Amino acid sequence: MVQINGDNNSNFLSGFAKADVIRGMGGFDIIDAAAGNDYVFGGDDGNTIFGREGQDSLYGEVGNDLIYGEAGNEQIDSGIGEDWLYGGADLDTLNGFNGNDGSTAAMGVCPDEHTLRLPLPPASTTVSR
């Protein structure tokens, strides 16, 4: 498994066609996991993460992130911040945590089954079809 690490600057990090572990660290990173069953950790600050093909585990961590699962069965965790989670095709699990998170899976845009888990604090959550 290839290990790819960013630094505290803004980086473009790209994985390989096999399984990778990619860590953005600090900075506003763009991370493309490429094909394979990958683990991606956004790190601090806001990031844009693309899972691509494969069964990926994508973690936004700290900051306002955009996370795109794309093809494959993904586990997507928003982390701390105001994040947007996009499951894409296949069966995905999207977990929202602290912050105002959103997802197209909740709006029925994605064609396949998804599981959406969001903490529901009293009097501050709206769910609609």
Instruction: Give domain limits for the chain.
Output: 2-117
pTM over 0.85: no
Query: In this model, does residue 50 exceed pLDDT 70?
Result: yes
Mean pLDDT of 106-115: 47
DSSP E strand boundaries for 1-129:
2-5, 12-14, 20-23, 30-32, 39-41, 48-50, 57-59, 66-68, 75-77, 84-86, 92-95, 102-103, 114-117
Can you give the length of the chain in residues? 129
| Mean pLDDT score across all residues of the chain | 81
Tell me what pLDDT residue 129 has.
47
Query: In this model, does residue 88 exceed pLDDT 70?
Result: yes
And the tokens for 18? 């096999």
